[in-house]
Chains A and B, each alone.
Chain A
Amino acid sequence: MNKGIILTSDALLAAFTTAIMLTVIVGLLSVNPPIPFDKQQLESIGNDFLSVLQQDKTLNSYIGDSQADSKLLSQLQLLPDQYCANVTLKIYRYQSDFLIDETHNAVKAGCIKGQELTKVKRIFVDYKKDRFGLAEMELWLK
């Protein structure tokens, strides 16, 4: 009789300790933060992409160009396969305030907008045409 009680309480104690340990483990796993390697890479690619287009004056060349959307798309197609992107160019002119004069947009072919978007942007100026531009890029993984 006594032996049975001791064995049962031993089993109960073991089960209780195991339950506590498992709860702690599950709890620890749930607070484990994801490391945003993807975000870092997307941010770098986006910034480099817009930076190159600004510095070689490609962005400026899109101002007033009716073919700008398709030219922008062909630039996006140069990104590696696994990267998706949506670029919007807003061209402003100043008339006591900034008014959007034209907008261009392109989404890389075969990409459906994801949930986790990384956003970067870049300013550019065309002083000859009196226009200010803002390029905004959303990136995600396929």
Chain B
Amino acid sequence: MKGMLLTLSIFLVLMGIVVYLTVIIFSNTDKASLIAESISAQRIYYTWMAVDKNFGQITEAVVSAFGNSTEINDTLPAQKDIQSLLKEYQEFVEKNYADETIAIRFEDPSGNYMNLSQDLKPKITIKPMNIIYSWPDWGKNEMNLNVAPENFSFIQNITILLNVSNNFTASYKQNPKECPAEYCLNFTLKVYNNTYEWTYPYSQLDIKFDNWIFVNIGNQPTAVKVYTGQIDPPANRVINMDVIKDVVIDTSTKIKLNTSDFYISWLAKINVTTPFGTKVDWI
């Protein structure tokens, strides 16, 4: 009887150890799998961000958004052949950055493979109000900011800074149509170099009507032409900026909206996929 009790208690102790170990192993397997997934998610995120960050450098247009504002830092005209750079960059990403464990693919809004140099349009869109910041081509001699009149009320104000890095003078249309108006643009334009800053004297413009500001840089007359209006279709124009080839200006266009519920996109996506997960998001 004593022997039986002893054997039974040893058996129960051993069974207890087996059950305990089984529980630990299952819990460790879960933890290990969670950590593997977190490593994979991190890898996808960093890869996606790295590609996205390079995009602004290649297009010479760095886009950022914070709260209800968006800022586009743009160099006009383009200093490089952006179309060739896009082609080379895509090839570099696909050949040298992606590998057998991580796939990187550029996609159009419908999810089809995108050839950046051919399919990417030179325009940035603020969605869902469809405020479009665009250039006629990748040469970027001209910049346009357009919006349909029914969406104009989303714009609270626009501030444009032009760094011309040279001596300049400015001229502008006297007595432009001001507010109150159906489409009143709260507008700030500053032109500056290392030593001097000039501010456009009108801060509210009726953009149903044309208006102009010309900047003469160095010995180049009307090197930069800034137009505001006309908002009515088909132009839907808020601002147009035309820059001659022989000057380089760094522009900063800050658009303050009346909502923070928006996103900015080149209307292209980056798809990063590993065996454990995928991140597809707008560039």
Contacts and interface: CB of A to CB of B under 8 A. Distances in A.
A95 to B, nearest CB: 10
Given A21-B14, A35-B31, A28 B92 contact: no
Nearest to A122: B50
Interface in B65-93: 79-80, 85, 88-89, 91-93
A29 B95 contact: no
Contact of A40 (B28, B29, B38): B38
Interface in B178-231: none
B46 A35 contact: no
Given A94-B88, A123-B92, A124-B54, A36 B46 contact: no
A66 interface: no
B58 interface: yes
B88 A134 contact: no
B7 interface: yes
A25 B96 contact: no
Contact of A98 (B3, B43, B58, B91): B91
Interface in A36-95: 36-37, 39-40, 43-44, 47, 51, 54-55, 92, 94
Contacts of A54: 50, 53
B17 interface: yes
B235 interface: no
A127 B85 contact: yes
Given A98-B96, A132-B88, A29 B21 contact: yes
B28 A134 contact: no
What bracket does the count of chain A residues touching chain B fall in? 35 or more
A127 B60 contact: yes
A54 B15 CA distance: 56
A33 B91 contact: no
Contacts of B29: 33
Contacts of B28: 32-33, 35
Nearest to A135: B50
Nearest to B95: A98
A8 interface: no
A31 interface: yes
Contacts of A22: 14
A121 B38 contact: no
Q: Which of A7, A92, A122, A132 has the most CB of B within 10 A?
A: A132
B92 to A, nearest CB: 5
Contact of B24 (A32, A121, A127): A32
B97 A134 contact: yes
Given A35-B31, A123-B92, A125-B57, A28 B25 contact: yes
Interface string A109-142: 0000000000011111111101010100000000
Interface in B1-34: 3, 7, 10-11, 14-15, 17-18, 21-22, 24-25, 28-29, 31-32
Given A36-B35, A123-B92, A51 B46 contact: yes
Given A14-B7, A51-B50, A94-B92, 9 more contacts: A21-B17, A28-B18, A36-B32, A47-B46, A54-B50, A98-B95, A98-B96, A127-B80, A128-B80
Cβ-closest 4 pairs across A and B: A21-B14, A28-B21, A47-B46, A125-B54
28 contacts: A10-B3, A10-B7, A14-B7, A17-B7, A21-B17, A21-B18, A25-B14, A25-B18, A31-B25, A32-B21, A32-B28, A33-B32, A35-B28, A35-B32, A35-B35, A36-B36, A47-B43, A51-B50, A54-B50, A120-B46, A122-B50, A123-B96, A125-B54, A125-B58, A126-B57, A127-B57, A127-B58, A128-B80
